[in-house]
Structure 1
């Protein structure tokens, strides 16, 4: 029995004995050393967590589902930004048809975060390791050990997308949208993946590409504005229109914008990489 599983059981117990808010505040304090005020929410972390637990859109589970969200993108008339599918979805690992997959592809779980397996050359892949990873994904109910209820009802599946680029070369543009308005973008790049863990550079910009201060782990500010920035801002505006808060993740690759995911509770809604001052400033922009 894993530590995460036992921790999830502890949080459920706290939520039953006390309240869901109590379990969430316990988790935020223990894992992220952040105090949440859910009775009188002021900061962005307070308000996003409050929305997550008490006012979340009924669309959130479907739009969190990395496969089902594609239907939402289609309905918004933005199907051109979807990364092409090459297989799935599959409910069981033994359903994955490796033989019919192309030479390069990306396997992803529909129901959680950090559940990706990138295959740049199929003939060189470690199939047993890949199967082991997917088996672990399918057994995991994401959100139980972080009190993120919108994950609980997402079906556990795996699917395959077209391979776009090496994982360590992708740059994520994460647009934080409040009441349908993109307010700032977190830019993540320079990934270094090792057995000891992952490192990544982070920068935040406003919608005029002015560098903002507000990260607890500031890195070099030498980041070029992407070629399709204005288009991405427009896409983020369209995809966030139905929600009080959502983060719209996009890529700008080889002259084209691609969709990553919609996220309703970044870092469990706690925003662990941001200063309290920045979260208070951004919290003023989010209307409950």
Structure 2
């Protein structure tokens, strides 16, 4: 397990403050996990056919490598080296606008809060959109976000666009921001078991998934610094989660 030296006041910190500190010390060893292309290989090596990844269509070494033929509405463009740098392709997507966006994103991460991204070479890739079990083939699949401490799941978030619901690991609702019902996934127990395998090397990680047709589980990404270490939950929940991470 990858460990690190903690400050003397560690046990006094709420979870978001621990995540903020974590982001400042993450080493190059974490980089391959947050590289979204490398992560596909890693999870398949660890879990085999128990988990799927979205089909990789093309890796772009440069923004200019993309062509009009790549702008298929079944596809989505993502960055391997950053967060939320995605282009959901539709019939109005312009090649020139895509190239301009990719050129703006084609840079090394330069901040201090999330050091793991600074080790990743900028590149982009095209993958097939997931057919979401609730929303269909929209390119805006629900993201199931599971926080793990010492390889044990401690909470679940479900994100849709810019809003999310929070649950405990038994699917009891803690807070709600999504305006439609999200039933308890039939594959929840399998999902939590996969988390134990995928998080085994880390003190803390958030694992992000999609759920497709027939409860097929798709991996999305490893996230070591959710929300950049800014507060997500009410302070009582942040303190409670912080106590778990010793």
TM-score, structure 2 as length reference: 0.84
Query: What is the CA distance between 1:129 and its match in structure 2?
Result: 1.1
Q: Who is 1:167 aligned against?
A: 139
Cα RMSD, aligned residues only: 2.3
Q: Which runs of 5+ in 2 are unaligned?
A: 1-5, 131-136
**Compared with structure 1, are the counterparts of its residues 238 and 57 closer, same or farther at alpha carbon in structure 2 (3 Å cutoff)?**
farther
Give, in whole Å, the separation in 1 of the partners of 2:27 and 2:169.
25
Query: What is the CA distance between 1:223 and its match in structure 2?
Result: 3.0
If asked which structure has higher relative contact order (CA below 8 Å, sep 6+), I would say 2
1:274 is aligned to 2:246: no
1:150 is aligned to 2:116: yes
1:110 is aligned to 2:80: yes
When the two structures are aligned, how many residues end up with a matched partner?
231
Query: What is the CA distance between 1:44 and its match in structure 2?
Result: 0.9
**Compared with structure 1, are the counterparts of its residues 38 and 267 closer, same or farther at alpha carbon in structure 2 (3 Å cutoff)?**
farther
Query: What is the CA distance between 1:81 and its match in structure 2?
Result: 1.3
Give, in whole Å, the separation in 1 of the partners of 2:98 and 2:71.
14
Contact 2:195 2:207 in 1 (8 A): yes
Q: Which runs of 5+ in 1 are unaligned?
A: 1-36, 192-199
Q: Secondary structure at the match of 2:47?
A: coil
**Compared with structure 1, are the counterparts of its residues 179 and 48 closer, same or farther at alpha carbon in structure 2 (3 Å cutoff)?**
same
1:53 is aligned to 2:1: no
Alignment of 1:53-132 (within 5 A): 53-54=24-25, 56=26, 58-78=28-48, 80-88=51-59, 90-99=60-69, 102=72, 104-121=74-91, 124-132=92-100
TM-score, structure 1 as length reference: 0.73
Q: Who is 2:187 aligned against?
A: 228
Q: Secondary structure at the match of 2:210?
A: strand
Give, in whole Å, the separation in 2 of the partners of 1:68 and 1:233.
22
**Compared with structure 1, are the counterparts of its residues 98 and 77 closer, same or farther at alpha carbon in structure 2 (3 Å cutoff)?**
farther
Residue number among 193, 198, 218 corresponding to 1:239 in the alignment:
198
Query: What is the CA distance between 1:163 and its match in structure 2?
Result: 2.1
